């Protein structure tokens, strides 16, 4: 996606054209002790190289470039917007196991190293500090899995960023429906005889069913889904349309992606965070129920931190609401304007 050009010599058109790059991390050691001699890491950059560096982290099964969609990047990176590419240097990595970065489907299949969120964040840190040689970040912003990564950035690299905006996530271990449904989805694929211990010839049929089940159960928003499907006939049509949509995924990739969160737990070390924090969640998030008040309890212990809870409506979409950046962009802009520069 190319964002609209803003005229003027201080804003070259190429600042608004995404640039996809690759970095090879040599002898990358995973938390399991496994080592990959060459770990391919893909990332996208956008914006003014002299502007404020901003790291933007995608969710599970996503990629950096997918955050350039009209509803997300189109509401953030354009002229006059909160993270205007004329004033910011935007870095969008593909996490390990995702997008163009190294992943099981490249050839190792189920023998790919068992990565976790800690490994993914260390790889992102290599992109920032070695590939791009950035010394400081104005902001680390993440969605869903990317929001969980943002909490880990604050814990492991305090002082490297001025601000954190973790969204659609909690700074606490996986629990409840969020983890149970991941396990059910993974088990459904592994129990499929056509999975063949990861050495399948074609994608196992269970993959599509598990994927749709998980997304209906943990995305979409209760009010929006009831409005879209008020009767069984409408619900059937909704599902038929969804299942008719193109679907490209790999079973091994998906299994590794969902299980990578198993040992995520930044909570014991949240006191290390020195950046200002704005934690954004939605009231109809099926994976991170706001009534548990997990985020509020944590934010209350961090100086200068605060929460933003987006109200539910027929126009929101549950866990995925924050992907519509217009719902929170102005609040994010006002927050960032108050954050001191490091």
What is the pLDDT at residue 14?
Answer: 60
Place of tokens 């993270």: 83
Cβ–Cβ < 8 Å for 160, 153: yes
In this structure, the answer to whether residues 75 and 160 fall within a common structural domain is yes
Residue 254 pLDDT class (50, 70, 90 cuts): very high
In this structure, the answer to whether residues 132 and 187 fall within a common structural domain is no
Rounded Cα gap, residues 180 and 241, in angstroms: 27
pLDDT of 29 above 90: yes
Rounded Cα gap, residues 27 and 34, in angstroms: 10
| pLDDT tens-digit readout, 40-82 | 999 999 999 999 999 999 999 999 999 999 999 999 999 999 9
| pLDDT tens-digit readout, 294-330 | 999 988 899 989 999 999 999 899 999 999 999 999 9
Residue 158 belongs to domain spanning: 13-174+264-337
pLDDT of 27 above 80: yes
In this structure, the answer to whether residues 46 and 22 fall within a common structural domain is yes
Residue 2 lies in a domain: no
Rounded Cα gap, residues 64 and 43, in angstroms: 7
What is the pLDDT at residue 12?
Answer: 57
pTM of the model: 0.94
pLDDT of 147 above 70: yes
Domain boundary among 218, 239, 258: 258
Mean pLDDT across 72-94: 96
On average, the pLDDT of the chain sits at 93
Q: How many domains does the chain have?
A: 2
% residues pLDDT > 70 (the chain): 96
Q: Could you tell me which residues are beta bridge partners of residue 309?
A: 281
Rounded Cα gap, residues 213 and 195, in angstroms: 18
DSSP code for 113: -
Residue 230 pLDDT class (50, 70, 90 cuts): very high
In this structure, the answer to whether residues 248 and 314 fall within a common structural domain is no
In this structure, the answer to whether residues 184 and 297 fall within a common structural domain is no
Q: Where are the alpha helices (DSSP H) in 91-244?
A: 117-126, 145-156, 176-190, 206-218, 222-228, 232-243
Cβ–Cβ < 8 Å for 127, 96: no
In this structure, the answer to whether residues 46 and 94 fall within a common structural domain is yes
Mean pLDDT across 2-9: 36
Look at residues 55, 74, 68, 65 and name the one whose alpha carbon lies nearest to residue 139.
Answer: 55
Place of tokens 């694929």: 189
Dihedral over alpha carbons 157, 163, 166, 171 (to 10 degrees): 50
Residue 5 lies in a domain: no
In this structure, the answer to whether residues 209 and 120 fall within a common structural domain is no
């Amino acid at each position: 996606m190319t964002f609209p050009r803003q005229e003027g010599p201080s804003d070259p058109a190429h600042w608004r054209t995404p640039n996809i790059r690759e970095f090879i991390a040599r002898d990358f050691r995973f938390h399991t002790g496994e080592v990959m001699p060459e770990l391919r890491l893909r990332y996208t950059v956008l914006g003014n190289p002299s502007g404020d560096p901003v790291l933007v982290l995608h969710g599970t099964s996503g990629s950096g470039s997918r955050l350039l969609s009209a509803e997300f990047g189109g509401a953030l990176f354009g002229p006059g917007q909160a993270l205007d590419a004329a004033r910011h240097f935007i870095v969008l990595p593909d996490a390990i196991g995702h997008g163009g970065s190294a992943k099981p489907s490249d050839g190792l299949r189920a023998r790919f190293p068992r990565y976790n969120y800690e490994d993914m964040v260390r790889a992102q840190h290599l992109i920032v500090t070695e590939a791009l040689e950035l010394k400081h970040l104005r902001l680390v912003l993440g969605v869903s899995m990317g929001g969980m990564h943002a909490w880990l950035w604050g814990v492991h690299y305090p002082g490297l960023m001025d601000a954190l905006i973790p969204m659609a996530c909690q700074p606490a271990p996986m629990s409840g429906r969020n983890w149970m449904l991941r396990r059910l989805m993974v088990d459904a694929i592994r129990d499929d005889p056509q999975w063949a211990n990861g050495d399948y010839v074609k994608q196992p049929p269970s993959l599509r069913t598990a994927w749709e089940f998980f997304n209906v159960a943990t995305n979409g928003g209760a009010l929006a889904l009831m409005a879209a499907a008020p009767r069984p006939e409408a619900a059937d049509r909704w599902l038929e349309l969804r299942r008719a949509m193109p679907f490209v995924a790999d079973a091994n990739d998906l299994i590794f992606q969902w299980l990578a969160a198993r040992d995520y737990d930044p909570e014991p070390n949240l006191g290390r965070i020195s950046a200002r924090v704005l934690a954004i969640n939605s009231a109809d998030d099926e994976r991170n129920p706001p009534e548990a008040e997990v985020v509020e309890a944590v934010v209350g212990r961090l100086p200068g931190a605060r929460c933003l809870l987006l109200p539910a409506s027929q126009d929101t979409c549950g866990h995925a609401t924050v992907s519509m950046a217009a719902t929170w962009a102005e609040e994010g802009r006002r927050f960032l304007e108050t954050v001191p520069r490091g």
